[in-house]
Chains A and B, each alone.
Chain A
Amino acid sequence: MKATEIQALLNATVLVGPLPEEEILTACGSDMMSDVLAFPKDRMVLLTGLTNPHTVRTAELLDVMMIIFVRGKLPSEEVLNMAEDAGIAVVMTEYTLYDACGRLYAAGLPGGTGRRKP
């Protein structure tokens, strides 16, 4: 799935661009960074309500392609700058974590287990 498609599905605002061009293969949604670290996958997007610097650090360590902040949460300028320095795109959606994940899963984007919507 393309990042632009994800942005459209979530009606998301771009906070740090540009959006990645490459095909995104998986998504992971959690507010616990160790849960994210338990399922690292290639070309992943991270959905989270956690807006502190550790979200960006975790994303950077896992080569996450895009961070999606849910529930309309706006991170600080410092966090956005960190993401920019790390070359990670950031978008924000008004959907909750559950709704945002559900929308992407229903549209065919699998999670870390690789399981797809039947």
Chain B
Amino acid sequence: MNELLHEVYPVEKGAFETAGEVSGTIKRMLRKLGVPSQVIRRVSVASYEVELNLVIHSLGGQMEITIEPESVTLDVADRGPGIPDLDLAMQEGWSTASDEVRTLGFGAGMGLPNMKRNADEFDIRSQVGVGTNIHMKFFCV
């Protein structure tokens, strides 16, 4: 394995003010490393969506990014509450977000489908009471 960079960022539950900062940091890092702009955009969209889900829906968790010459990998894990029905959660438009979250511009139920569309590899596992894990890989070619 020929890693260029490997970082882990914690994301707190409810931290709406700072939500998106990890994704901003990741984007600047990819820019600096000269990753193609089409790939940067796909990673940015997916990381922003997953970061907001951690803030809005989870009890807190972390985002781990691994940058290699030919790929970018995002591994995301949280401490719960887990997703009871993954098929439902993956549907466009399905959301349990509160009205308050909606007035902030989120809760369209588009986040998970957006991640899947943008990543070359997408894997989600979830266990109620334990947590949710998402693996995404983006190829640079």
Chain A residues with a Cβ under 8 A of chain B: 31-35, 37-38, 40, 48, 50, 52-55, 57-58, 60-63
B132: which A residues are within 8 A, CB to CB?
Answer: none
B72: which A residues are within 8 A, CB to CB?
Answer: none
Of the candidates A32, A50, A60, the one whose C-beta lies within 8 Å of that of B110 is A32
- Whether B78 sits at the interface, judged by CB under 8 Å, is no
- Are the C-beta atoms of B44 and A33 separated by less than 8 Å? no
Q: Which residue of B lies closest to A31 (CB)?
A: B105
A37: which B residues are within 8 A, CB to CB?
Answer: 45, 48-49, 110, 114
Q: Which residue of B lies closest to A60 (CB)?
A: B24
Q: Scan residues 1-58 of chain B and give those whose CB is less than 8 A from a CB of chain A.
A: 17, 19-20, 23-24, 27, 37, 41, 44-45, 48-49
Q: Which residue of A lies closest to B16 (CB)?
A: A54
B111: which A residues are within 8 A, CB to CB?
Answer: 34
- Are the C-beta atoms of A54 and B45 separated by less than 8 Å? no
Q: How many CB-defined contacts (below 8 Å) exist between A and B?
A: 66
Of the candidates B19, B23, B102, B105, the one whose C-beta lies within 8 Å of that of A61 is B23
- Are the C-beta atoms of B44 and A54 separated by less than 8 Å? no
B41: which A residues are within 8 A, CB to CB?
Answer: 40, 61-63
Of the candidates A35, A50, A52, A58, the one whose C-beta lies within 8 Å of that of B48 is A58
- Contact flag A34-B49 (CB < 8 Å), given A40-B41, A52-B105, A63-B41: yes
Q: How far is the CB of A32 from chain B (nearest CB, A)?
A: 4
Q: Within the assembled complex, what's the spacing in Å between the Cα atoms of A56 and B72?
A: 25
- Whether B61 sits at the interface, judged by CB under 8 Å, is no
- Are the C-beta atoms of A40 and B45 separated by less than 8 Å? yes
Q: Which residue of A lies closest to B46 (CB)?
A: A37
Q: Within the assembled complex, what's the spacing in Å between the Cα atoms of A38 and B10?
A: 25
Q: Which residue of B lies closest to A48 (CB)?
A: B105
- Are the C-beta atoms of B48 and A38 separated by less than 8 Å? no
- Contact flag A34-B104 (CB < 8 Å), given A60-B24, A61-B23, A62-B41: no
B24: which A residues are within 8 A, CB to CB?
Answer: 57, 60-61
